[in-house]
A = this chain, B = another copy of it.
Amino acid sequence: MSVTAPEGFVASAAACGLKASGATDLSLVATADGRPVAAAATFTTNKAAAAPVNVSRRHLQATAGRAAAVVLNSGNANAATGQTGDEHAERMCALVAHELGCESDEVLVCSTGLIGIPLKIERVTAGIPTLVRARAAGAEAGQAAANAIMTTDTRSKQVVVPGRGFTVGGMAKGAAMLAPNMATMLAVLTTDAAAEPAMLRRALQDAVSRSFNQMTVDACTSTNDTVIVLASGRAQARAAAAAPAGDWAATPAPAAASNWAGAAAAGPPTEVELTDALWEACADLAGQMAADAEGATKVVRVRVVGAADYHEAAAGARKIAQSQLVKCSFYGQDPYWGRVVSELGSAGIAFDMDRVRITYGGITVCRGGVEAGDPAQAGALAKVMAGDTIEVVAHLGLGTGEASMITCDLGHGYIDENMSTS
């Protein structure tokens, strides 16, 4: 179950021939009745943003945060395709809208694949009617939609998170760590919670900043990155209908307390509840991306603690996590902490070498800025470095700021995946 888990959503997939393999390459997530609901999105900050990013952003502005569907294609990023690319993205939305019976502006669009190759729009337009007509509720439809956005992913990424009286579902393709060749990360989330667009937008931004934005492979910002959420409000509508008229409004709190995730929970979620559920879904999908990191052999969590403040901790963690040299060391299972301090020293943050302590998997390798390896722990350290996941912590000893980043190693697999697009 994924995007179809929350009430009020349908999904589907189709193959239109964008992928040479013949695999499904069109995906749809829509409201069950084809009517718009509250929607929000976060997009890449890249100024070379792809056509679908430009079009989706415009549509969300035009509707003040409402959408009835998201149409996605894999096999081509529709990026660096000029005005024609924008027209193609608009046509995809218009066709879906026509089939669903909603407005063009109420359809959002995402693409993933190579940059700079004109989209074979006639294949897409030929496939969209089939795609829309195939839409259905249920787990199978959600699975099909999640499969159709995969590029070099080896597994689809799906999630369901229960909230207090509502559900969040999601699907993603992720590239952040596994296929930077197709460098895009796309995610579509659905929820049956009721939320105004403004609150939904704030909740999504917060959730994304604490999940997807804390991962890095190669410091490259895709032209297509998009995370979209649609909120149907069906859970509250159902709860209201099931309860005696006026009842939940009069005594919401006790019912809610005893009814966590229950169908009869009272009232719409608070912003904190919604944010937490979206964050949990995003973090789960980000973890699935990390676990499917094809080009990498290890997932590494880099934590910086004791920084002057959160922002300095985050800058330090990002500098380490993006370092080619540090990442090569992980690939070689070499606990070469000298590269970690070198990155911290050039991260543009407050840094006092004499206070630094570094641990790999909890084993201290540097204390007071100098070597602190205990020969008796060499075996344990080798075991840490041989693991699939490694946690590196840099203690700066300056303040209370802390932050972390998820990254992976840099090895031959990354080179092989990214050296050629042909």
Contact = CB atoms under 8 A, between A and B. Distances in A.
A80 B338 CA distance: 7
Interface stretch (A113-121, A123-131, A271-279): A113-121
Contact of A80 (B346, B371, B415): B371
B345 A49 contact: yes
A291 interface: no
Contacts of A180: 324-325
Contacts of A222: 342
Contact of A334 (B183, B219, B325, B419): B419
A420 B80 contact: no
A80 B369 contact: yes
Contact of A81 (B77, B322, B370, B411): B370
B412 A415 contact: yes
Contacts of A310: none
B346 A46 contact: yes
B116 A337 contact: yes
A65 to B, nearest CB: 25
A146 B355 CA distance: 36
B324 A219 contact: yes
A134 interface: no
A414 B80 contact: no
A335 to B, nearest CB: 10
Contacts of A420: 329, 332-334
A48 interface: yes
A325 B218 contact: yes
Nearest to A331: B419
Contacts of A415: 328, 331, 410-412, 415
Contact of A338 (B114, B368, B370, B418): B114
A190 interface: no
A210 interface: no
Given A115-B339, A116-B337, A366-B80, A47 B331 contact: no
Interface in A314-328: 322-325, 328
A45 interface: yes
A336 interface: yes
A152 to B, nearest CB: 14
B47 A346 contact: yes
Contacts of A371: 80-81, 116-118
Contact of A418 (B47, B77, B328, B353): B328
A249 interface: no
A343 interface: yes
B325 A220 contact: yes
A82 interface: yes
Contacts of A333: 420
Interface string A191-231: 00000000000000000000000000011111100000000
24 contacts: A48-B341, A48-B342, A48-B346, A79-B342, A80-B338, A80-B370, A81-B370, A82-B368, A115-B341, A116-B338, A116-B371, A180-B324, A180-B325, A183-B342, A222-B342, A223-B342, A324-B410, A324-B414, A325-B418, A328-B414, A329-B420, A332-B418, A334-B422, A411-B415
